[in-house]
Amino acid sequence: MMTLQGYLAGQLLIAMPQMQDPRFARSVVYLCAHTAEGAMGIVVNRLFDGLSFPELLEQLDIDPTPDCDKIRVHFGGPVEGGRGFVLHSADYMHETSLVVAEGVALTATVDVLKAIAEGDGPRKCLLALGYAGWSPGQLDSEIRENAWLNVPADEKLLFDPDLDHKWEAAIHKLGIDFGALSGEAGHA
């Protein structure tokens, strides 16, 4: 088990309303790593079109159970779209799991998918294909340019199945009226 530490690791990034990139417009990204080498996160409020969890399991030669029908596959970001990641509660840990923050881990092996299919997986989980990645200094620059807000993550917001309102809920957690957000960066 490894631990990743970084400036904003464990935080939620919230795309500002003026975000032009359609891959990230109105997105909420859970930041798994943020260091001098770059940043990596999982979009937590978008579904991956065209693939169900049972179909994914069948592709991996894992027998799906009826419980698998309720698990959704998320669009984790535009990088490595064929690679799977599971953000989950830390009650499930594998030797390859990365502890991101207290109570939250990331596992990217087929073992976690087998455990979920068998009913032995984590209490809470979010399965995603792909991830969001930033090169060294890129995310810091985007934050300075007022492209992202950040807020501490909590289990309810992170794993809430109501994806349609997660962006607003994340902004509300800041105590801000999102209609009043400006795309202009303020510099003193």
Q: What pLDDT digit, counting tens, does each position of 10-44 carry?
A: 999 999 999 989 999 999 999 999 999 999 999 99
Report how many domains make up the chain: 1
pLDDT classification of 4: cutoffs 50, 70, 90: very low
What lies within 8 Å, CB to CB, of 175 at 6+ separation is none
- The answer to whether residue 188 sits within a structural domain is no
CATH of the domain at 26: 3.40.1740.10
Joined tokens for residue 172: 């509300």
- The answer to whether residue 141 sits within a structural domain is yes
Average pLDDT across the chain, whole number: 89
- The answer to whether residue 83 sits within a structural domain is yes
- The answer to whether residue 185 sits within a structural domain is no
Residue range of the domain that includes 168: 2-180
Q: What does the CA dihedral 165, 168, 170, 171 come to, rounded to 10 degrees?
A: 180
Q: Report strand pairing: 11-15 vs 148-152.
A: antiparallel
Put simply, whether the predicted model's pTM sits higher than 0.75 gets the answer yes
Write out pLDDT tens, residues 117-129: 988 999 999 999 9
Write out pLDDT tens, residues 150-185: 999 999 999 999 999 999 999 999 887 766 655 555
The rounded distance, in Å, linking the Cα atoms of 84 and 81 is: 8
